[in-house]
Structure 1
Amino acid sequence: MEWILLLLLGLVAAILGSIMGLGGGIIIVPALMILSSYTTVLEGITPQVAVGTSLLVMIFTGLSSTLAYMKQKKVDYQSGLIFFIGSGPGALFGVWLNKDINTDAFLVGFGLFIIVVSFILMVRKYIKPLKRMSKGIQRSYENDLGETVEYGYQPIVGILIAFVVGMCSGLFGIGGGSLMVPAMILLFGFPAHLAVATSMFLVFLSAIISSISHIYLGNVDWLYALALIPGAWLGGTIGAAINKRMTSDSVVNLLRIFLVIIGIRLIYQGITGS
């Protein structure tokens, strides 16, 4: 029963992660930590193993989503590679921070982080993008309505933000899209669909770096990963298809509520130890 649950967890996490550009780890990691208290299969799982396993799974979520978004021609490869200059080293730094973290501290910190992310998701559509910088990289994108949308950013600013995103990815086992997508939309003026697709490309690249480091440190449970990966691969493709056909407002609202509940539960578990 637990293995079927893991398969479904990988599927649901990847669908939501692909729709929103989050990567899915923000659901997988807390779910593994919570399930460890209720199932014998996952009993005693550490934050390091939860994070390392999540990042390995996100390689497949990121790849399947990226391939689907490539067919839709929504991935900004140049921007993704520039951001990766920051997120790659950031991911390695996050892995280093993760290796000695206390379980209770991890649960409380991650719970607070998830609640902050839910707040970002709540306010992001009400905040207008900052005025684009006259210098730096300037790009344009033609949306499905035939409208040309311009956006731009200073590479150094994008790299610094991506470093923080990569650090969170390596530390918490998330794809980092929960921070990168709002940053691309609010700070750089990216169209939402383009931001999500480019974020999944970045999730794929960052997850490779982070997961290799966690594999080296012995932080990956291969049985859990094998149970999660099939659902993650299928979910990444499904999520990209859903993203193309619908607005994400209803999904964002449900996800916000879901994240707040998870965040509170993790904080409680970290404080009480139960």
Structure 2
Amino acid sequence: MDIGFILSGFIVGLLVGLTGVGGGSLMTPILVLFFHIKPALAVGTDLLYASVTKSVGIFAHGKLGNIDWKIVKRLMFGSIPASILTTFYLKQIDITSTGAVDIIKFYLGIALLLTSIAVIFRPYLIERSKVTLLKSDNAIAIATILLGLVLGGMVTLTSVGAGALGVTALLLIYPRIGITKIVGTDIAHAVPLTLVAGLGHVSLGTVDYSLLGVLLIGSIPGIYIGSHLSSRVSEQTVRYVLALILIYVGQKFIFH
């Protein structure tokens, strides 16, 4: 069984290295659908998994100056309180009950479908992101905080949204910032968000530490190999395949 978890970690890490997307979007569904891990336990374990794997990206993007810390702070102003409130909500219900499991699966499916849309249309948004939708800095700040609010709740409940959805929304809010800096900023925000959300799940008892360690054994070399293969593999092909997988898995959760 450990071999299966290691292989899953490797595959997800490979996709993250190739496209920058796939961490929470694939790991939680794999754990739930293929290994029959309880949804809440899969989400909690995946959140700490994401905080560890994405922390490497902070150092890499930080050295290259690809992080806008002002945007990160604005996002955290909305996401951290939302994460804490969502954790508090989960503490008030029986997360092992059939009703709670169905709720988590439903919103996980919604998050996966939204992520697939973001993955498909990201190149289009990059091309069209020269149009400024928000004029004033106050409007931009409020939109960023609201984005953080949505991401905080979604990520804590499903572990999905901190990657592709965050990048896509930031491209719309900050059209004049390059994609590399947007990605670096999104990763810098994802680390504290997934850490806070993960610690919230620790307090709920929905983290499997041995599973976390096994997944990391596979994912770390996967990310390394994927990042080195990214220039040799058709990113567009991988992106469309990933989107189709997300659509299939998303509808499976929604109509379960």
TM-score by length of 2: 0.83
Question: Which amino acid in 2 is paired with 1:65?
Answer: G
In 2, distance between residues paired with 1:208 and 1:156?
A: 24
Of the three residues 131, 143, 168, the one matched with 1:157 is 143
In 2, distance between residues paired with 1:4 and 1:70?
A: 34
Question: Which amino acid in 1 is paired with 2:181?
Answer: L
Indicate if the aligned counterparts of 1:7 and 1:228 stay in contact, CA closer than 8 A.
yes
Match of 2:136 in 1: 135
- The alignment status of 1:30 with 2:17, answered yes or no, reads no
Partner SS, residue 71 of structure 2? helix
Match of 1:12 in 2: 11
CA drift at 1:258: 1.5
In 1, distance between residues paired with 2:54 and 2:5?
A: 18
Could you give the per-residue CA deviations for residues 66-92 of structure 1, whole angstroms, max 9, x where no partner exists? 222234332223322321121111222
Indicate if the aligned counterparts of 2:78 and 2:148 stay in contact, CA closer than 8 A.
yes
Structure 1 residues 136 and 70: alpha-carbon distance in aligned structure 2, compared to 1, 3 A threshold: same
CA drift at 1:97: 4.2
Match of 1:72 in 2: 64
CA drift at 1:195: 1.6
Match of 1:88 in 2: 80
Q: Which has the higher helix share?
A: 2
- The alignment status of 1:202 with 2:189, answered yes or no, reads yes
In 2, distance between residues paired with 1:105 and 1:196?
A: 30
* Aligned residue pair count: 246
Indicate if the aligned counterparts of 1:90 and 1:166 stay in contact, CA closer than 8 A.
yes
CA drift at 1:19: 5.1
Structure 1 residues 241 and 73: alpha-carbon distance in aligned structure 2, compared to 1, 3 A threshold: farther
Indicate if the aligned counterparts of 1:34 and 1:266 stay in contact, CA closer than 8 A.
no
Partner SS, residue 73 of structure 1? coil
In 2, distance between residues paired with 1:194 and 1:225?
A: 29
Of the three residues 156, 168, 172, the one matched with 1:186 is 172
In 1, distance between residues paired with 2:45 and 2:73?
A: 24
Partner SS, residue 205 of structure 2? coil
Could you give the per-residue CA deviations for residues 212-270 of structure 1, whole angstroms, max 9, x where no partner exists? 111111110111111112333444455555668888433321211121122233335x3
Match of 1:150 in 2: none
Could you give the per-residue CA deviations for residues 37-58 of structure 1, whole angstroms, max 9, x where no partner exists? 4xxxxxxx32211111001111
Q: Which has the higher strand share?
A: 1
Indicate if the aligned counterparts of 1:19 and 1:242 stay in contact, CA closer than 8 A.
yes
Equivalences for residues 114-263 of structure 1 within 5 A:
114-127=112-125, 128-129=128-129, 130-131=131-132, 133-136=134-137, 154-174=140-160, 176-189=162-175, 190-238=177-225, 248-263=235-250
Match of 1:40 in 2: none
Structural RMSD (CA): 2.7
TM-score by length of 1: 0.78
In 1, distance between residues paired with 2:233 and 2:171?
A: 18
Partner SS, residue 154 of structure 1? helix
Indicate if the aligned counterparts of 1:54 and 1:225 stay in contact, CA closer than 8 A.
yes
Indicate if the aligned counterparts of 1:75 and 1:201 stay in contact, CA closer than 8 A.
yes
Question: Which amino acid in 2 is paired with 1:209?
Answer: V
Structure 1 residues 20 and 198: alpha-carbon distance in aligned structure 2, compared to 1, 3 A threshold: farther
In 2, distance between residues paired with 1:7 and 1:218?
A: 23
